[in-house]
Amino acid sequence: MIVLAWQWQADAGLIPSLYLPSPKATFAAIAKGFDTGDLGWRFLGTVERMIYGWLIASLIGIALGSAIGLSRQVRAYLQPMLEYLRPLPASALIPVAIPILGLTDEMVLAVIGFAALWPTLLATIHGFAAVEPRLYEVGRLLKLNRMQVIWRIALPNALPDIISGMRLSLTYALILSVVGEMLSGREGLGSWILFSARMYKAADLFAGVMLLGLIGYVSALLIGGAEKRLVRWKYNNR
């Protein structure tokens, strides 16, 4: 429906093609970009930065969040600092990160990791903190040790929250990948879109935007499929 309305607008000429190209021109730009290889490796560059930054943030968020969520005293001690750091916009840290790390992939990954960390970290804390206390009593009755209680009781109950946080973190990782590429000049869809806008190449610009939408859509499907497999019991009880 959206594509049909888009094509109708292009045929009617309501908005000049200089600013809003037709779907045919956009798809042709995508095909040409992949045919020449220029768009393909930029696409892969953005996906690679998104995944690496997301994985780094997820590993740190789950490890740190589980440690905080399992201890009421640690939560009370760290909560003010977490609430202070959480609202900081990651894009505002790029001017700080550039003098330290330079215009490098490491700088972009650091910013992506910072932005993507918080949803997973806070969701993990909530997931572990919300485990029913009676389940821990069951663990004590079964004479489970600390690691067995975490692995068999706490983690399965916290997993839906953790995956929800990771899903949101993945969105942040994609956004900051594009912003980082635009500001640092690293090769990717972000720099492709920025260059196309400056050169008034509307078809190339929209090609980049559509590919970003495709990345977001496919990544959401993949993590949704992983969620259904990892927390199958949650869906079976519906």
- Domain regions of the chain by residue span: 31-231
Tokens of 18: 């200089």
Token pair 């949704």 in the structure block, residue: 224
Q: Collect all residues with Cβ–Cβ distance below 8 Å to 97 and sequence separation of at least 6.
A: 107, 110, 111
pLDDT, position 236:
57
Give pTM, 2 decimals. 0.84
Residue 38 predicted with pLDDT over 70? yes
* Residue 234, pLDDT above cutoff 70: no
For 129-144, letters b (16+ CB in 10 Å) and e give: bebeeeeeeebeeeeb
**Domain 31-231 class in CATH:** mainly alpha
* pLDDT (mean) for 125-138: 77
Question: pLDDT tens across 180-213, in order?
Answer: 888 877 888 888 888 888 888 888 898 889 999 9
Q: Please tell me what DSSP assigns to residue 13.
A: T
Cα gap 54→118, rounded to integer Å: 11
Residue at token pair 């956009």: 26
Buried/exposed code over 192-224 (b: 16+ C-beta within 10 A; e: otherwise): bbbebeeeebbbbbbbbbebbeebeeebeeebe
Mean pLDDT of the chain: 82
Measured distance between the N- and C-terminal CA atoms of the chain, rounded to whole angstroms: 32
